[in-house]
A and B are shown apart, each in its own frame.
Chain A
């Protein structure tokens, strides 16, 4: 970790990677909080 943080370029790349991870984590949290009817409605909306 120290090696990454010593380099500004690697720090920025790590920040971008974390952002992508955060986007998927946010989506997973939303999905896990959906009730069954909400999940079914979301599936229908996504397939339209």
Chain B
């Protein structure tokens, strides 16, 4: 049981670093750098780097939630956390679930249109790029309390 919980927690943290690392790469590096990149070099970001980063980003989000829920379930606190009877971890879990929902159901569909991965009218691209950016920023904002909530389980703040 101890080894199993260790392995699940380890995979949860590894996936989480992949997910939040790429989220912060998008928001702290790629988005602010785009206006500084010459137009002829921009396809390297849009056609090569962003689709690859989005692949690891969305699957990182999926497996972070998968292993996080598995850890909560196998540790016996999943329902208490989701019902906020254990608010320290519960608030973090809900923030993580909202963020993962944003990744799979808002950011990824909008990015597929913005990057031309799926067929869409050219006029739809700017609106979808903005939508993806705003929800990505929302996730960056939520990642700060989410991570605080996760670590407060080990080191309570109040």
Pick from A2, A5, A15, A33: contact of B85, CB below 8 A. A33
Q: Report the separation of the CA atoms of residues A6 and B32 in the bound assembly, to the nearest whole angstrom.
A: 11
Contact A15 B87 (CB under 8 A): no
Q: Which residues of B contact A16 (CB under 8 A)?
A: 144
Q: Report the separation of the CA atoms of residues A14 and B141 in the bound assembly, to the nearest whole angstrom.
A: 6
Contact B134 A2 (CB under 8 A): yes
Q: Which of B140-155 contact A (CB under 8 A)?
A: 140-145, 148-149, 152
Q: Which residues of B contact A30 (CB under 8 A)?
A: 87
Is the CB of B107 closer than 8 A to any CB of chain A? no
Q: Report the separation of the CA atoms of residues A43 and B149 in the bound assembly, to the nearest whole angstrom.
A: 24
Q: Report the separation of the CA atoms of residues A24 and B22 in the bound assembly, to the nearest whole angstrom.
A: 29
Give B149's nearest chain A residue, CB to CB. A22
Is the CB of A25 closer than 8 A to any CB of chain B? yes
Q: Report the separation of the CA atoms of residues A18 and B143 in the bound assembly, to the nearest whole angstrom.
A: 10
Interface residue tally of chain B, by bracket? 20 to 34
Per the CB 8 Å criterion, the residue count for chain A at the interface is 22
Pick from A2, A11, A26, A27: contact of B141, CB below 8 A. A11
Contact B148 A19 (CB under 8 A): yes
Contact A26 B143 (CB under 8 A): no
Q: Which residues of B contact A (CB under 8 A)?
A: 27-28, 31-32, 84-85, 87-88, 91, 134, 137-138, 140-145, 148-149, 152, 157-158
Q: Which residues of A contact B (CB under 8 A)?
A: 2, 4-6, 8, 11-12, 14-16, 18-19, 21-27, 29-30, 33
Q: A8-B32, A12-B141, A15-B145 are in contact. List 14 more A-B contacts (CB 8 A).
A: A5-B138, A5-B141, A11-B137, A12-B140, A12-B144, A14-B141, A15-B142, A18-B141, A19-B148, A21-B145, A23-B152, A23-B158, A24-B158, A26-B87
9 example contacts (A-B, Cβ-Cβ < 8 A) are as follows: A8-B137, A11-B141, A12-B144, A15-B143, A15-B145, A18-B145, A21-B145, A26-B158, A29-B87
